[in-house]
Structure formats: C-alpha cells, structure tokens
Amino acid sequence: MTGRLLVVAAALLLTACSGLQEKQAIDRLQPCKHADGPTEGYCGTLEVFEDREAQSGRKILLKIIVFPALKRTAAKDPMFFLAGGPGQGAAAIADVGREMLRRIGADRDLVFVDQRGTGKSNPLECKPDEKDQDAEDDYDEAKSVAHLRACMEKLQTKADLTKYTTTIAMDDLDQVRQYLGYGQINLYGGSYGTRAAIVYARRHTASTRAIILDGVAPTDMRLPLFMARDSQRALSLLLRDCAADKGCNARFPNLAARLEKLLAAPAKKIRYIHPRTGVEKEGEVRRLVLGGTMFAALYSPRTASLVPLLIEQAEKGIYTGFFALGAAFDPAANSIAQGMHLSVVCAEDAPRIEPGSITRETAGTFLGAEMAEIRLKACQFWPKGKVEAHYFDNTPISIPTLILSGDLDPVTPPVWGQQIAGAWKNSRHIIVPATGHGAAAAGCVPKLMAQFLNEGTAANLDPACVQQVKRPPFVLGPSGPDPLP
C-alpha cells in the first residue's frame, strides 16, 4: 500500500470513531508531523487573499490544526478556539488549548487556526534581536519606539499592515469553516479571542451555534486605556486578602503603605545578575519596571502570591526576584506577534482614546500613565486599517453564550463581562472567585462549559461549584507558601 493510501486509510479509520465526519476535511488535512503540531491532530493550511475586499494581490497561508472528537457519537458542530493577545496564534498553542478544552473535545472536534499575522500565518513578529535583552528594556520608551519603527519597515516588505484587523480575520475564519466542510460551529474565545468571537458571531450569525467568552475584551474596550484601573483593582484585592490572611499579615504587615513608599522612591541604578544568562549587568530600578512586573504577576493568583515577598525584598534593596519574575514572563510575551497586535490596537482602540483620558483613568494607580503611553507611541506611525463605526456598538446577540470572568483578573475583570451579559439576553455570566486572567481551567468550569455546549443553553447550569476555588496561599519566604493558610 502506498504512503498516500496509508494516510487515507488511517484518516478514514479515525473518522469512523470521531467527529471528523466531513469528507473534504479528511481530504484537505493530513496527520500532523512533529514539526507541524501535536501528532494526535490533523494539520493543513488554507490560502487566502491578504486583501479580502479586492480578492487579488498577495496571498497568505493560514495554519490549521484539528483534533477529532473522541466519541463515536460525536456532535457535528466543532469548537473553534480563538486565541488572545491580540497576536497569539491558536494553532501555535493547540496542545495547551486542547488540554484546556479536553472535556469538550470528547464530544466535538477542536479546531485551531493561526489568525492572520500570528503563529505560522504570515506572522507579524517584532522580537528583539538581543538574546539577553534586559528586563527593563520593555519600559524604555526610546528603545521601544525605535525597535517598533524598524520592525514596521521590515514587515511592510511582506505585508499590508492595514489588512490585519479583527473583522478581516473573522472572515478568514469563516472561509476556513467552509473549507473544512463544517456547518454551524461553536466558539471559545479567551481574552482578545472574546473580541474575535463577538465579531465572528455578528458577521456570521447563521454559522454560530454557541459561544464561550472567557475574560471579555469587547470591541469598545479601547486598549490600553483601562489597563491601569483594572489592574489596580486586582492589586487592591491582593492587598486586602493578604491583610485578612493571618500568616501573610503577620509576615508582611502594612503592606499597602509599604508598597506605596517603594513605588514613590526615585529611580536608581543597580548591579544585578541577569536571570537568564547569569551575567552581571547594570539596570535601572524605577516605578514602571516594578509596576510592570507586578502587573504581569497578577494575571495568575499563583504568581501573584509572590508579590508580598518581592515587595519586602525590594525594600531591602534586593531586586533579584523582580527581575527573575519579569524574565519568567518573556516566553509568553515573545509568543505574541507584536506587529499584528499593533495592527489591531492602532486601528480599533487607539483612535478612540481621547486626549487626557489616560491621565484621568490612571490616576492613583500603581501603574500610572507611563505604560499605556509607551504602548500607544507606535500608533502614531503604525498603518491603520479601516474600521466601520458600528464595530464599536455592543449589538445584542441572541446566540446562547456562556460568559466567564475571573474575579481577580487584572486586565478583563468582571465589569467587562457584565457589559456583554447586560445586552445579550441569551447569555449567562459566571464570575469565578480567586481566579485571574482566564477561567476555563478553574475548578468545575470545564464541566460547566461541556454541559453548556451539549445542552445548547446555559439556563440549566449550577455555578455554585465555582465557590470551591480558593486563592493559593501566599509565599512567605524562600521555603515557599504558607503551609497552613
């Protein structure tokens, strides 16, 4: 039997006991090789026009990975996974996404598509050239702007940067749906992926069966305007919980006042050991470097549990922990295609941020205005795609929708989920306690998501089980968390 026949035979055998029931999906995808993705999946690409409106000119390949459903009696409607960022590729994190949605994957196919400009779909990356980039470089305005301007000029040789907005990408996604032969589909969106899911459902309502929005970032969010405000809420909850925890309060008394004093201290130069290279370097400790690391730590309650100890160490002039934690977030940051991120934010968010609004919304926060201002600098020169005025409306949708919010989320807190829930009458909003950015894997939430999809409604869900989720114990010293929180 030839290699081609072996592949087809294997595909047909798997189809017999899975949800990959469309013949054209079998014909157009192949079992993944190690270089393509998880070998349990099927991999392929779809070529689309970069300029969808003109249907001419440059073409780009969209990377696709499909994991067939596990059950013989699988549902025909798959789950499409929409990644965050903006700038993260769904297929690039397919293994992680499949594990997060494993209950759902028992009953229906899981589909991961690298959105245009991400992953292996003509990625618009702006990674730093220096392998040992200093931890504070991300907060240096001059270096950051110069790097992004040079990146823009390089990317313009392979992409029209105005053609990477959410609307265009969601029309790509519907073309992938048709290419694979699916009828109605379900959508899971996390973080920016919620915005993508909202846009897809508006434009392709008849093709959308049900939606899960995890950490809502609606179309009118105006990134990064409210980032400091929302992360201040998460930090205030952490300080409150530390004060209420006997071990944490005894170990770190008056933490809020101590942090305020630390952040108010003038910038200073220090010598430190680079956490990745082990090389001694000179760096500048200033408010934004400390605040930026805390902001990233607040995404997960586990990393947030380190913050009180890091504050105490910094008071003593020891910043190793801050720099090490900042370096630990580098892989996640580098997974974001920053060029695509800017093509979205500079077209869809920045133009609606009014002069003076950043100063107003960041007042009294640990981050202050500087981080948002640095992030928006590139939008002064980055090419901007076309966005229709109605794009920013919270248009009611009647599609069954499950909305998830982590109560401790520093970037998409429950207020954003409530905004959508208040307008979408066929929705259910569940706030998961002691949970940061992304609630899909918390406690009983995977079970609730699977029930929602199998029943096609959130009306029968009992969310009481999420109350069992508790904040991880605070780290009180080098030996680790408090054993008796």
Domains, the chain, in order of start with CATH, read: 3-123+171-219+398-468 (3.40.50.1820)
Which of the four pLDDT bands, split at 50, 70 and 90, describes residue 188? very high
How confident is the model over 247-271, as a mean pLDDT? 94
Strands 475-477 and 427-432: unpaired
Contact between 156 and 162 (Cβ < 8 Å): no
How confident is the model over 227-244, as a mean pLDDT? 98
Q: State residue 22's pLDDT score.
A: 54
Which of the four pLDDT bands, split at 50, 70 and 90, describes residue 129? low
Measured CA to CA, the distance from residue 485 to residue 466 in angstroms comes to 20
Q: State residue 7's pLDDT score.
A: 39
Q: State residue 279's pLDDT score.
A: 82
Looking at the predicted structure, is the pLDDT value of residue 134 above 70? no
Looking at the predicted structure, is the pLDDT value of residue 14 above 50? no
Q: State residue 315's pLDDT score.
A: 95
Q: pLDDT averaged over the chain?
A: 91
Measured CA to CA, the distance from residue 422 to residue 393 in angstroms comes to 13
In this structure, what is the dihedral angle of CA atoms 472, 295, 291, 377, given to the nearest 10 degrees?
A: 170
Q: How far is CA 311 from CA 1, 315, 330, 476, in A?
A: 65, 6, 21, 11
Q: State residue 274's pLDDT score.
A: 75
Summarised one tens digit per residue, pLDDT across range 414-450 is 999 999 999 999 999 999 999 999 999 999 999 999 9
Looking at the predicted structure, is the pLDDT value of residue 130 above 80? no
> Of 308 and 17, which is predicted with more confidence?
308
Measured CA to CA, the distance from residue 93 to residue 97 in angstroms comes to 6
Q: Find where tokens 């409210």 sit.
A: 226
Summarised one tens digit per residue, pLDDT across range 145-184 is 999 999 999 999 999 999 999 999 999 999 999 999 999 9
For residues 29-59, one letter each, b for 16 or more C-beta atoms within 10 angstroms of the residue's C-beta and e for the rest, the string is: bbebeeebbeeebbbbbbebbbeeeeeeeee
> Of 129 and 204, which is predicted with more confidence?
204
In the chain, pLDDT over 90 holds for what percent of residues? 80
Region of 465 on the Ramachandran plot (φ > 0 left; ψ -120 to 50 alpha; else beta):
alpha
Q: State residue 133's pLDDT score.
A: 54
In the chain, pLDDT over 70 holds for what percent of residues? 91
Chain centroid to CA 250:
35
Q: How far is CA 38 from CA 70, 81, 96, 99, in A?
A: 15, 16, 10, 12
Looking at the predicted structure, is the pLDDT value of residue 398 above 80? yes
How confident is the model over 122-127, as a mean pLDDT? 96
Q: State residue 271's pLDDT score.
A: 82
Q: How far is CA 294 from CA 112, 305, 328, 432, 437, in A?
A: 31, 11, 12, 21, 14
Locate 482 and state its tokens. 């408090």
Measured CA to CA, the distance from residue 54 to residue 251 in angstroms comes to 64
Looking at the predicted structure, is the pLDDT value of residue 23 above 80? no
For the beta sheet containing 208-214, the strands, ordered from the edge strand earlier in sequence to the opposite edge, are 30-31, 42-49, 59-67, 110-113, 79-82, 185-190, 208-214, 401-406, 427-432
Locate 167 and state its tokens. 């609307």
Strands (E), 324-433: 401-406, 427-432
How confident is the model over 266-270, as a mean pLDDT? 89
Looking at the predicted structure, is the pLDDT value of residue 9 above 60? no
